């Protein structure tokens, strides 16, 4: 039987909203990044997908700033008391790395665009400053970093989701209800 968590043991509506909005944007950005790089040549569709991908990245970065500020001023609900210390440590480490990646991935993509000599124009309206000039060698390094950070994120999100499912279906400790508003 699943444990019903009191509201104080759940994340706030703001934290849940930021979590799910950022998750949706990250999945969308990853998907776009995956398909846009497989489009041969330089087509209008490819250009559109690159723009959308960059806009998602800038939005994730901005929302991550808000999310981090919220998290620093609002304590997370306690993990279940029966949870093994190693599991608690793993959860904390993975969450910290996820936060780092929410900043590092958009930053590496932004710098990659700058090194490629392409200015990011947010939503096609707001030109963002170019932080570094065009640099072919740096462009290759930043592209590689951006790709590997994304695959690291994919692996960690997969582990995060599998751990949440384990807590829901095997441990039945109500942990997943902390972040999903309709679970009891």
State both tokens at 177.
């209800």
Ramachandran region, residue 161 (left: φ > 0; alpha: ψ -120 to 50; beta: rest): alpha
Q: What is the pLDDT of residue 78?
A: 87
pLDDT, tens only, 51-68: 999 999 999 999 999 999
State the pLDDT confidence band at 183, using cuts at 50, 70 and 90. Answer: confident
Residue-range domains of the chain with CATH: 7-178 (1.20.950)
Closest CA to 163 of 75, 93, 81: 93
pLDDT, tens only, 113-156: 999 999 999 999 999 999 999 999 999 999 999 999 999 999 99
Q: Taking 70 as the threshold, does the pLDDT of residue 18 lie above it?
A: yes
131's CB contacts (< 8 A; 6+ apart) are 110, 111, 114
State the pLDDT confidence band at 69, using cuts at 50, 70 and 90. Answer: very high
89-93, 110-114, 179-183: the lowest-pLDDT one: 179-183
Q: What is the pLDDT of residue 8?
A: 58
Q: Quote the CA–CA distance of 108 and 140 in Å, as a whole number.
A: 11
3-state secondary structure of 24: helix
């Amino acid at each position: 039987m699943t444990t019903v968590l009191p509201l104080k043991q759940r994340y706030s509506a703001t934290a849940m909203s930021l979590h799910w909005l950022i998750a949706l944007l990250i999945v969308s950005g990853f998907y776009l990044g995956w398909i846009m790089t497989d489009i041969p040549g330089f087509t209008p569709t490819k250009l559109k997908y690159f723009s959308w991908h960059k806009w998602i990245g800038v939005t994730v970065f901005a929302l991550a700033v808000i999310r981090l500020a919220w998290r620093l001023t609002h304590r997370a609900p306690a993990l279940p008391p029966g949870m093994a210390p190693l599991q608690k440590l793993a959860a904390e480490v993975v969450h910290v790395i996820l936060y780092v990646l929410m900043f590092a991935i958009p930053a590496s993509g932004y710098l990659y665009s700058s090194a490629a000599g392409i200015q990011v124009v947010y939503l096609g309206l707001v030109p963002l400053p170019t932080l570094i000039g065009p640099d072919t060698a740096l462009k290759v390094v930043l592209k590689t970093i951006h790709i590997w950070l994304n695959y690291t994120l994919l692996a960690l999100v997969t582990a995060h989701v599998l751990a949440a499912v384990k807590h829901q279906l095997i441990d039945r400790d109500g942990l997943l209800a902390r972040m999903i508003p309709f679970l009891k």
